[in-house]
Structure 1
């Protein structure tokens, strides 16, 4: 395996060197003042759009010149570099332009990389533009993350970015507004009122019929932004009380309170008697912005509870696909095992959560993984008659 990886890296380096060499190059890409002389075969091999362009009798195929009016020069350079090396750039300032270009040319892995970058760098001034970009380029996970950010940060609606979005992309803003409203409604429904499997079959049960559900007091998720007096009071709280309130805020989705507690030093990875951290609580409830804020605050994505399950197990069990996506983007292991040797894919499959299953499979979850009783995720899907998931796991 190490030899194969080394060979791939060498091949990528060799292709990367071709980017600045014009020998044998037969295509010129033009974007404004940027002109890149590149190898037709590389473009065709990486992009289905370029492949179709060069295979048919098109002007670009015959002239050897491709004009790209809607891609900036810097983004074009990064796009081409990726096609030569398959190494995604880490350039936050151009992630939005690069995502649009990757979508246009069918580079799905690069597009996904850009989505993760944009989700990680959400800010009040840029959130509207990111949300509109996500909607217009069919990025449902990024769109939901951006909508959750806006829902938790109402000041976004007063920014110039929001005004520009309303003026330039009114239809997309309508969809963003719908997502914001849906986020608010979902967040107001407590998990304890949602239908779940019999406790005796729940992966996070103690398998004696007693659900392993931490009793955290409910608070309003619409906690207003903390003022200086409130934060000053938080500084005086004990470490244990800060941690308790942090888990409470994570469970209720009170993002402003959560951020305030993190700012005064609350232990982001403190666990309760079940071993549940704030991230686990937010993942359980599907609070997208709370999860994102905790990850941004350094939360341990691989923290385990007393049953050895992780926040990813929990999000998969409840079908919170966008939370699953965020956790995977933060390097959560899609094949991590709990004490019954079940993976997050087992949990998502037995509950019939097709979107969560899709995210896990995309991240490399093992369909053939077997739990301590020898069941694969497909076996559990069949056991609980989850037909859509059964088809996905064939």
Structure 2
């Protein structure tokens, strides 16, 4: 028994050394500046794609030279190491690229192990990239786990730079992801149905790292002794400043999340209006999570928080609000939508978020003007191009 175990443990080491040695190897794989000489039999046995390549009369089969496109040298090395040793690398940073390569070359077992690593390492910052990867490479278990995780942390995920990058570079994938978010129940303690090789749910530690500590009991107790009016006033001030910890303490002390305050020119705004106007993503997320009305109106201009965020060019808050079902085509007292406001201010990124959310680029305000008219007036070519594209 001991001898068998020793042989089992030493075999991968021996085969890995065979890859490094290259003796008897007949095929050269090229990825950029990386060239690796390998054994044809190992490629054929481990990958149906390579097997088909070498069993037919192809240029690769005749010349023994294979150009591995879309795979960098480091990933190719790990891919081959797995073919020789059947051991997946433990470098978490490689898992997304290695999964894509494993899918391309039909290596189901390696792909499943990469899925496990990605599911176990889900965080607010990498959840959207993981979900998009799972959609692109048909990983149903990982996809369900990632989408469920995002559903349980929606506002915080949408406030990340990763979400902004995905919206900008992979809009079709984000739209598809949005459809899945609408259909998937939020993450809970019960495990999601796993796909082949995927983890059933992200470990509690991944979520715990991003869970803020509960509000200080003593601070909450002191705030509860104040009048409702004073708590509302302090909530507004905290929203203006983006003071998330103060907001959480005030909300825990049952401050009215819909509290309003008179601003410039006599317009009365909610705390969410102020947070949106100031570009305070975390504060806005805190208020929305506490039940703030996302389409609340100011008293004079009839503006929503989305109007405020768009006019100020705060794309992160725009993204957060539309993710919370704010109306991208809401009209103010002059018939202007948030897209009119973003265009008038020359804010291309905010306009892009609104268009992705379904904003009507042909909407006319009370004066008959569409958002494109404002972009042309201020000569913002990027906005003009964006608003004229179909």
2:309 to 315, 335, 347: 315
State the SS of the aligned residue for 2:303.
coil
Between structure 1 and structure 2, the one with the greater Rg is: 2
* 1:383 Cα deviation after fit: 1.4
1-structure distance, mates of 2:380, 2:147: 31
- 2:134 is matched with which residue? 101
2:224 to 217, 235, 241: 235
1-structure distance, mates of 2:341, 2:358: 16
Q: 1:288 aligned to 2:281?
A: yes
Decide whether the 8 Å contact of 2:128 with 2:146 is kept in 1: no
1:269 to 251, 258, 269: 258
Decide whether the 8 Å contact of 1:302 with 1:310 is kept in 2: yes
2-structure distance, mates of 1:290, 1:311: 13
Q: 1:343 aligned to 2:340?
A: no
Provide Cα deviations, 1:11-57, integer angstroms capped at 9, x if missing partner: xxxxxxxxxxxxxxxxxxx9xxxxxxxxxxxxxxxxxx9xxxxxxxx
Decide whether the 8 Å contact of 1:242 with 1:266 is kept in 2: yes
Counterparts of 1:174-213 in structure 2, within 5 Å, are none
State the SS of the aligned residue for 1:276.
strand
2-structure distance, mates of 1:332, 1:239: 27
Counterparts of 1:32-43 in structure 2, within 5 Å, are none
2-structure distance, mates of 1:131, 1:121: 9
In the superposition, relative to structure 1, how do residues 367 and 254 fare at CA in structure 2: closer, same or farther (>3 Å)? same
Normalising by structure 1, what TM-score?
0.51
State the SS of the aligned residue for 1:369.
coil
Normalising by structure 2, what TM-score?
0.51
In the superposition, relative to structure 1, how do residues 115 and 229 fare at CA in structure 2: closer, same or farther (>3 Å)? closer
State the SS of the aligned residue for 2:346.
coil
Q: 1:117 aligned to 2:106?
A: no
1:361 to 355, 380, 383: 355
In the superposition, relative to structure 1, how do residues 253 and 69 fare at CA in structure 2: closer, same or farther (>3 Å)? same
In the superposition, relative to structure 1, how do residues 267 and 338 fare at CA in structure 2: closer, same or farther (>3 Å)? same
Q: Work out the number of aligned pairs and report it.
A: 234
In the superposition, relative to structure 1, how do residues 387 and 160 fare at CA in structure 2: closer, same or farther (>3 Å)? same
1:279 to 272, 285, 299: 272
1-structure distance, mates of 2:224, 2:322: 33
* 1:265 Cα deviation after fit: 0.5
- 2:91 is matched with which residue? none
2:233 to 217, 240, 244: 244
Decide whether the 8 Å contact of 2:130 with 2:146 is kept in 1: no
Q: 1:254 aligned to 2:243?
A: yes
In the superposition, relative to structure 1, how do residues 114 and 242 fare at CA in structure 2: closer, same or farther (>3 Å)? same
* 1:229 Cα deviation after fit: 2.8
Provide Cα deviations, 1:107-126, integer angstroms capped at 9, x if missing partner: 9x99997796364275xxxx
2-structure distance, mates of 1:271, 1:329: 23
* 1:343 Cα deviation after fit: 0.2
Q: 1:67 aligned to 2:108?
A: yes
**Any stretches of 5+ residues in structure 1 without a counterpart?**
1-29, 31-48, 50-58, 76-93, 142-158, 166-223
Provide Cα deviations, 1:278-313, integer angstroms capped at 9, x if missing partner: 111100000110011111111100100021100000
* 1:227 Cα deviation after fit: 3.5
1-structure distance, mates of 2:311, 2:317: 11
In the superposition, relative to structure 1, how do residues 354 and 271 fare at CA in structure 2: closer, same or farther (>3 Å)? same
Decide whether the 8 Å contact of 1:284 with 1:315 is kept in 2: yes
- 2:378 is matched with which residue? 384
Provide Cα deviations, 1:210-235, integer angstroms capped at 9, x if missing partner: xxxxxxxxxxxxxx996433221100
In the superposition, relative to structure 1, how do residues 114 and 352 fare at CA in structure 2: closer, same or farther (>3 Å)? farther
Provide Cα deviations, 1:183-214, integer angstroms capped at 9, x if missing partner: xxxxxxxxxxxxxxxxxxxxxxxxxxxxxxxx
1-structure distance, mates of 2:113, 2:155: 21
RMSD, aligned α-carbons: 4.4
Decide whether the 8 Å contact of 1:72 with 1:97 is kept in 2: no
2-structure distance, mates of 1:342, 1:320: 18
In the superposition, relative to structure 1, how do residues 380 and 131 fare at CA in structure 2: closer, same or farther (>3 Å)? closer
1-structure distance, mates of 2:379, 2:251: 43
